[in-house]
Amino acid sequence: DQQVKQNSPSLSVQEGRISILNCDYTNSMFDYFLWYKKYPAEGPTFLISISSIKDKNEDGRFTVFLNKSAKHLSLHIVPSQPGDSAVYFCAARNSGNTPLVFGKGTRLSVIA
């Protein structure tokens, strides 16, 4: 049973527009959520995170929104740039030193 779901395997956006990547989770014990960016043949790099006590966290062009009642989070990238083209993984974990559970990823292509 997949606890973290990214239902869109791919997304194409024009440069300068907003990219919205979505993620749903089923485990109500998750209290920390993260987004990672991954290029082929490389390890994931941390992008942004949000604690369950917040509903929004912003860092530059990246904003993560959390809707706990819907068990849904989203990553907004604005404006999108060609260098943002990568696979984005949503991840979640319980409190404590627990491993992350990842979604399957969404491949974002930003077209110039």
Partner 1 sequence: GAVVSQHPSWVICKSGTSVKIECRSLDFQATTMFWYRQFPKQSLMLMATSNEGSKATYEQGVEKDKFLINHASLTLSTLTVTSAHPEDSSFYICSARGGAGGPRYTGELFFGEGSRLTVL
Binding site for partner 1 (CB under 8 A): 9, 32, 34, 36, 41-46, 49, 89, 97, 99-105
Q: Which is nearer to partner 1, 12 or 14 (CB)?
A: 12
- CA distances for 25 relative to 3, 7, 13, 96, angstroms: 5, 11, 24, 19
Nearer to partner 1, 41 or 112 (CB): 41
The DSSP code sequence of 51-110 is ETT-SEEEETTEEEEEETTTTEEEEEESS--GGG-EEEEEEEE-SSS---EE---EEEEE
At its nearest, how many Å lie between partner 1 and the CB of residue 99? Answer: 5
**Shortest Å distance, C-beta 6 to partner 1:** 8
Nearer to partner 1, 14 or 94 (CB): 94
Nearest distance, CB of residue 101 and partner 1, angstroms: 7
